[in-house]
A and B are shown apart, each in its own frame.
Chain A
């Protein structure tokens, strides 16, 4: 199962998604109903990934809105 952790507002929402094969992040977002416009960045395996990068069935992906300073 791929684990998706979504940071939204002030909450972390965890979802588990069954993937049969690697899937581009943009398709994974569609699958879990997260709008691409809401996504600022994503982290997987200690790296920032783009929406074209593949997510493996056992990966953990963290999804964030834009995060700034201040």
Chain B
């Protein structure tokens, strides 16, 4: 029996109701690591190019990583993948929480789902036993109620449930998937893919222990991390203030997206900050499986009936419903967050799509006649909450916005396309690349569309005197680079860190635990992987696995017709910031394009951004090389 993983992938055909189990060998895990790598493998093997992402032809993969479920902080992540209905490109999104470890304890490393059920169903896995259950009675219900019903049906309050709410059922193109009501596979509209398959939920329960190859070494690493984690200012900050701390930090640096990325500083930022959250609505600091960092929040607002069991807004949500829409009421943002959680909408794309519509309204491209009588102006709190509900239900103008801002603009016309801020059709996250250039590279290059979780942000690794930078030097990054500069050093640093991050996404590791974002050293990450699996792996092997996962996704996109022409960012990012500490800064277009080409070259990709035959062979992906 292998250590660290089960060696079993569950295949489910929802059209026939049949399922079977595929046994996976150790070489597969060395090669793909799970998560994003495993998803790339199955999507390339099983999907025909050009399919409709919301048709039964799409394949939906839930994949833990090789480290998911290890008894160590941060080893909780799992990924969901499919062809994205938002971007029509490689779709993949990771979540924390408890569902991934539970899946492994239930006997499977991944679930590959094809077809479409003839009526609503949910999959129930209990210690290796698989059932496809009727979900007629759950369809149309919001997430909290669904969780209560499924747990009651099986008389087991410990069942972990990944599910969609009405937003997913209605195939909102940016619908997400939630587990435990407060953890999310947020991006790329994968909840809509679940909805398109009539799949309401996957409920899992596992009572077995995942075998650990070297318990003593794992225990030593875990104890060492637990003993020192709160000495790290970065990790301590995540515990005390959560990701919300970034509101005031980014605002002071002039890179807090404000009024649909017109500005980098929001004068009322303090009212949506971690301080405001801590003082007004915070009731608990929570975390994921086995993690001492506890960066998650639980909040409560009697005024807006916000309940702690739906968690609390992260930085991305505070900015996307706050500064981006000029909303300064943290209780309204908490309500918007809860609504998205109950309906399962991605808060980033929801906020960005509403901000897009607000800008259209301000420019008189939209009027109250278009918006069902809603005064959709920046700062209108009630309009924000009303639009979220209408999007989830695809009611009236909400049906237009449920398509995402890019498609909505194509429907609206009238010059609205200049207010769309997407890459490959996915809305920008809440980080302004005009003050951190490699985030611009991340947005452009991500196979998933604009994504902020591709590599370390420039502002994390600026000073050689500081811990975060010193700790990534073993990757061969020996000098820091200025955040607002493109150079070969900047591109090489980004390339190496994109592989390191890609390894996290494949292996199921949260980036809030290892360096540079937190304090677990590179050596401890590798040692933990060896302790869990019994392998004798190395930084070299895991970096290659990360690179391989990126190449798989890139090949997937190439088959779908994407190339370098799609690796562009919105024009607004090439124009100067209008206020704040970095006023006047912008992404210089020519240097940006040169940096992209340099990255392709460093990665062994063509000028079109596609991995070469030689690179695929070097990565051991012979099966992808034609002829």
Interface residues, chain A, CB within 8 Å of chain B? 5, 7, 9-12, 36-41, 43, 46-48, 50-51, 62, 64-70
CB contacts (< 8 Å) of B273 on chain A: these are: 10
A23 vs B273: C-alpha distance when bound (angstroms): 33
A5 vs B254: C-alpha distance when bound (angstroms): 13
Residues A48 and B462 in contact, CB atoms below 8 Å apart: yes
Report the count of interface residues on B (CB-CB < 8 A). 49
A7 vs B497: C-alpha distance when bound (angstroms): 26
Given contacts A10-B274, A36-B465, A43-B254, contact A68 B241 (CB under 8 A): no
A37 vs B464: C-alpha distance when bound (angstroms): 9
Which one of B8-16, B99-107, B245-253 contacts A? B245-253
* 19 more CB-based (< 8 A) A-B contacts, given A9-B240, A70-B315: A5-B252, A9-B245, A36-B465, A36-B466, A37-B467, A38-B233, A48-B482, A51-B465, A65-B233, A65-B234, A66-B516, A67-B253, A67-B460, A68-B456, A68-B460, A69-B453, A69-B457, A70-B452, A70-B517
Interface residues, chain B, CB within 8 Å of chain A? 233-234, 237, 240-241, 243-246, 248-250, 252-254, 273-275, 278, 315, 429, 431, 439, 452-453, 456-457, 459-463, 465-469, 482-484, 511-512, 516-517, 581-585
Given contacts A7-B249, A11-B275, A43-B254, contact A70 B243 (CB under 8 A): yes
A45 vs B463: C-alpha distance when bound (angstroms): 19
Task: Count chain B CB atoms within 10 A of each CB in A10, A41, A48, A51 and give the residue with the most.
Answer: A10
Given contacts A12-B252, A51-B463, contact A66 B234 (CB under 8 A): yes
A47 vs B482: C-alpha distance when bound (angstroms): 10
Given contacts A40-B463, A43-B581, A46-B583, contact A64 B252 (CB under 8 A): yes
Q: A26 — nearest CB in chain B belongs to which residue? A: B465
Residues A46 and B517 in contact, CB atoms below 8 Å apart: no
Contact for B466 among A10, A39, A43, CB less than 8 A: A39
Given contacts A9-B240, A70-B512, contact A41 B483 (CB under 8 A): yes
CB contacts (< 8 Å) of A51 on chain B: these are: 463, 465
Q: A36 — nearest CB in chain B belongs to which residue? A: B465
Given contacts A46-B585, A48-B484, contact A40 B243 (CB under 8 A): no
Residues B237 and A9 in contact, CB atoms below 8 Å apart: yes
Contact for B581 among A9, A10, A62, CB less than 8 A: A62
Q: Min CB distance, B414 to chain A, in Å?
A: 34
Q: Min CB distance, A60 to chain B, in Å?
A: 9
Task: Count chain A CB atoms within 10 A of each CB in B275, B457, B463, B468 and give the residue with the most.
Answer: B463
Contact for B457 among A7, A36, A39, A67, CB less than 8 A: A67
Residues A43 and B462 in contact, CB atoms below 8 Å apart: no
Q: Min CB distance, A31 to chain B, in Å?
A: 17
Contact for A39 among B465, B512, B516, B581, CB less than 8 A: B465
Q: B240 — nearest CB in chain A belongs to which residue? A: A9
Q: Min CB distance, A19 to chain B, in Å?
A: 20
